Chains A and B, each alone.
Chain A
Amino acid sequence: MATRTLNFKIYRYDPDKDASPYMQDISIEIDSTDRKLLDVLVKLKAKDDSLAFRRSCREGVCGSDAMNINGKNGLACLTEIDSLAQPIVLRPLPGLPVIRDLIVDMTQFFKQYHSIKPYVVNNSPAPEKERLQTPEEREELNGLYECILCACCSTSCPSFWWNPDKFVGPAGLLAAYRFIADTRDEVTNERLDNLEDPYRLFRCHTIMNCVDVCPKHLNPTKAIGKIKELMLSRAV
Chain B
Amino acid sequence: MVKRLVVGAHYGFRDWLAQRVTATVMALYTVYLLVRVALMPTHDNAAWHTLMAGGFTKFLTFLFALSLFYHAWVGVRDIWMDYVKPLGLRLALHVLTLLALIGYSGWMAQILWRL
Interface centre among B11, B17, B82 (most CB of A within 10 A): B82
* Residues A199 and B5 in contact, CB atoms below 8 Å apart: no
Contacts of A194 in B (CB 8 A): 8
Is the CB of A165 closer than 8 A to any CB of chain B?
A: yes
Contacts of A197 in B (CB 8 A): 7-10, 12
Q: How far is the CA of A45 from the CA of B85 in the complex (A)?
A: 40
Summarize A's interface: helix, strand, loop or mixed: loop
Of A53-61, A121-129, A208-216, A227-235, the stretch lying at the interface with chain B is A227-235
Q: How far is the CA of A193 from the CA of B16 in the complex (A)?
A: 15
The 0/1 profile, CB within 8 Å of B marked 1, for residues 198-231 of chain A is 1111110100000000000000000000001001
Closest A residue to B17 using CB positions: A232
* Residues B12 and A200 in contact, CB atoms below 8 Å apart: yes
* Residues A163 and B82 in contact, CB atoms below 8 Å apart: yes
Interface centre among B11, B17, B81, B83 (most CB of A within 10 A): B81
Min distance, Cβ B75 to any Cβ of chain A, angstroms:
10
Q: How far is the CA of A152 from the CA of B13 in the complex (A)?
A: 27
Contact of B13 among A159, A162, A235 (CB under 8 A): A235
Contacts of B10 in A (CB 8 A): 193, 196-197
Min distance, Cβ B97 to any Cβ of chain A, angstroms:
15
Contact of B16 among A159, A165, A200, A202 (CB under 8 A): A202
Q: 3 smallest A-B Cβ distances: which pairs?
A: A202-B12, A198-B12, A162-B82
Contacts A166-B5, A197-B9, A231-B13 supplied; 9 other A-B pairs, CB < 8 Å? A162-B82, A166-B7, A196-B10, A196-B12, A198-B15, A198-B81, A199-B7, A199-B81, A235-B13
Chain A contacts to B: CB under 8 angstroms: 159, 162-163, 165-166, 193-203, 205, 228, 231-232, 235
